[in-house]
Structure 1
Amino acid sequence: MSVGHEGKTTNKSFCEKIDIQFTHIFLPTVYVLVCIIGVFANVFGLKSMFKRWRTLGDIKFFILNLGIADLLYVSTLPFLISYYAADSTWQFGTVFCKITRFCFNLNLYGSIGFLTCICVYRYLGIVYPMKIKGIVNTRLSVTISALVWTLVVMQILPDMFFEKSAPNSSQCFDTTGNDLIKDYLPYSIGWTVTGFLIPLLVIIVCYGHVAYVLMTKANINTLLKQRSLKLIIFLTVLFSVCFLPYHLLRNLNLSTRILKMRGTCHPVFDDIYIAYQVSRGLACLNSAINPIIYLVGNDEFLMRFHSFSKRTRRSLAQITGVIVYRKPPQHMDSTVNTEAELNIVQ
């Protein structure tokens, strides 16, 4: 079958097969980078967090669970690297195929869930700092963490019952085969609403209010304001780059597969497939990016960074004979006096 060169939709008994060579090059490359960076970044981030465990607020439980989800997913990447590098040949059995895909979804939606918890915690600490004293405690944080895991597992568990390989095939599908795809699309759309859109709306509302409060109130500590704004920017970028394209293109790609099964073909279907593969790579990047949260608002890290910058400038001055001046950050003088205030929202 030949597809119209003018980009028109054609109705045939079958469509041309998509060239999946891009997937076999792009995904292994991304997975290798995420695996290496993800392991070191999460181990370093968790180590940094444990050093400050007693000084952190109850937010530490959400960050800890976020790190566990990342490390769990990163541990499955070597198998996916092997799979795609071998031209989509899965050699580890059907059960482990489902477990590997389960770990990806567990990480993705676990990350979204705990990032949402961190967002709400920051929101309450900034907008209602006095009201949450005595309410938000260790027991509540642990209970919420357990609830997040439960809700995530309930959302992704049905995915385990969909076929992940075709008969007489060595493939390991990230969604499902063509036989059940018509049932999978409604599930995927519902999954997108509960696992992504609702948390996204919560984050938009919370951080929209936080940004308004930070910009309109002059009595908020400078360091606290900087921390919170950094976290807002970070989560906005994370959701825009890692999560939004993946959910949009996953459902779009499933829809095009159904159309192709019905004999409806269009050149743009290939572009959607390629874009979906790129979004899959971007989605897994969150395992390497999440550790930035360990450092956002970390006074010890910021002080070490400023100290390193000073030593670097002095070394350059000695070598080149040029003195580099830098205005000291205004928030450093007020750090000690606002420790109690910062602990509320950490």
Structure 2
Amino acid sequence: MYEAVALNRNSSLNHPRCDLHVFVFWLKLTERRNCHPDDNEYTSCPRVSFDFSGRFLPPVYILVFIVGLVANGWGLKSLLHNWKKLGNINVFVLNLGLADVLYLLTVPFLVVYYLMGSTWIFGDVFCKITRFCFNLNLYGSIGFLTCISVYRYLAIVHPMRVMGRITVLHSVGISVLVWLLVSIQSLPDMFFSKTSGNNTGKCYDTTGKIYVEDYLKYSLGWTLTGFCIPFLIALGCYGHVIVVLCRTNTTDKVLKQKCLKLLFILILLYSVCYVPYHVLKNLNLWSRVLLNQRLCREWSNGVYIAHRISRGLVCLNSALNPLVYLHGDENIPAQLRRLLQRARQAALRPSSTPSQVPLM
């Protein structure tokens, strides 16, 4: 037996082509071992819990869909009922509601996706459309909230400069510009691969592992232009507004309360919805890039789960944005109070009992 092996070795020395085939076979074998997720090299990598999305996201999406659709539908109806009296801020609020409704119409498909164990059955094109609508809603909401903040700043800090100069037509033009900029920012996302598999497979929020490094660069730039800059503008505007209101004793108390309420709404939206999502999204992309480079991190699983939680929280902006309606239109709080009063009266109204029915 050993002699046969020795003969084979000696014969291989005389045949370099055979050595080349052996080397190629060995190279392919090592590549397969290195790329296999169950290889010993990956035994130290924490296993990512992909089942968490299927348990957490569907209930959140269902809640957001019901609350968001009812609240935005009612708010838009109230605004459009008096559309001839729309002010500058209400134009931005109206566009904010349209962005919410556009995204909410795609939520049922995402519920089906996660209930089916992250299996997308609606095709690659519609997967990209749903993700595009999500991005339009997210960055459109941030853009219109920033417009509201800037307008409030100009109206309070520089009232004489803008009095009568900014009309509803200007607000409409600015709204069109916001939609255009958000669409341009979101358009490159459509060119990244969003699905895996032929007929049924994943529908990625970002992209597959092949292009994840390029997507991380795109996401960082997108975060800077679509989130960080508008956030700093809104923060600066309201910081200055609060300083001016606190220094001026003659300021109308109602105006001061309105500004404080809107500031609270913005803080709520940014702290709950926007900031966690952008931070954890980029951290999760970075962990995927490291994994592609065969670098395992113990925090990868925790970052993934936290990112999925933030993915659910960022959708809450479609249910929380209607709070801006209460601030933007004075008629809406009055209508809400009347509606609650009618409901309370209907609940307290005594129902007829058999003893009260007259006998014939």
TM-score by length of 2: 0.80
Q: Distance in 2 between matches of 1:115 and 1:200?
A: 9
Find the counterpart in structure 1 of residue 63 from structure 2.
33
Find the counterpart in structure 2 of residue 151 from structure 1.
181
Alignment of 1:51-130 (within 5 A): 51-130=81-160
Greater C-alpha radius of gyration: 2
- Tell me if structure 1 keeps the 8 A contact 2:89–2:148: yes
**1:196 maps to 2:223:** no
Distance 1:241 1:119, change over 3 A: same
Distance 1:263 1:67, change over 3 A: same
- Between 1:127-136 and 1:84-93, the stretch displaced more is 127-136
Distance 1:221 1:312, change over 3 A: farther
Residues 68-107 of structure 1 deviation map (CA, whole Å, 9 limit, x = unaligned): 1100000000000000010011010000000011000010
- In the alignment of these two chains, the number of paired residues is 310
Aligned pair partner of 1:289 in 317, 320, 338: 320
Q: Distance in 2 between matches of 1:14 and 1:261?
A: 15
- Tell me if structure 2 keeps the 8 A contact 1:113–1:148: yes
- Tell me if structure 2 keeps the 8 A contact 1:163–1:177: yes
Structure 1 unaligned runs (5+)? 1-9, 316-346
Find the counterpart in structure 2 of residue 162 from structure 1.
192
Alignment of 1:1-346 (within 5 A): 12=42, 15-168=45-198, 170-296=201-327, 298-303=329-334
- Identical pairs, percent: 52
Code of the residue aligned with 2:148 in structure 1: it is I
Distance 1:198 1:261, change over 3 A: same
Q: CA RMSD in A?
A: 2.5
Structure having the higher helix fraction is 2
Which aligned segments of 4 or more residues in structure 1 are displaced greater than 2 angstroms? 10-17, 50-56, 166-169, 297-315
Larger relative contact order (CA 8 Å, sep ≥ 6): 1
Q: Distance in 2 between matches of 1:89 and 1:305?
A: 41
Distance 1:89 1:309, change over 3 A: closer
Structure 2 unaligned runs (5+)? 1-39, 347-360
Code of the residue aligned with 1:123 in structure 2: it is Y
Distance 1:288 1:181, change over 3 A: same
Query: How many Å apart are 1:194 and its aligned residue?
Result: 0.1
SS at match of 1:206: helix
Find the counterpart in structure 1 of residue 351 from structure 2.
none
Code of the residue aligned with 2:182 in structure 1: it is V
Q: Distance in 1 between matches of 2:219 and 2:342?
A: 52
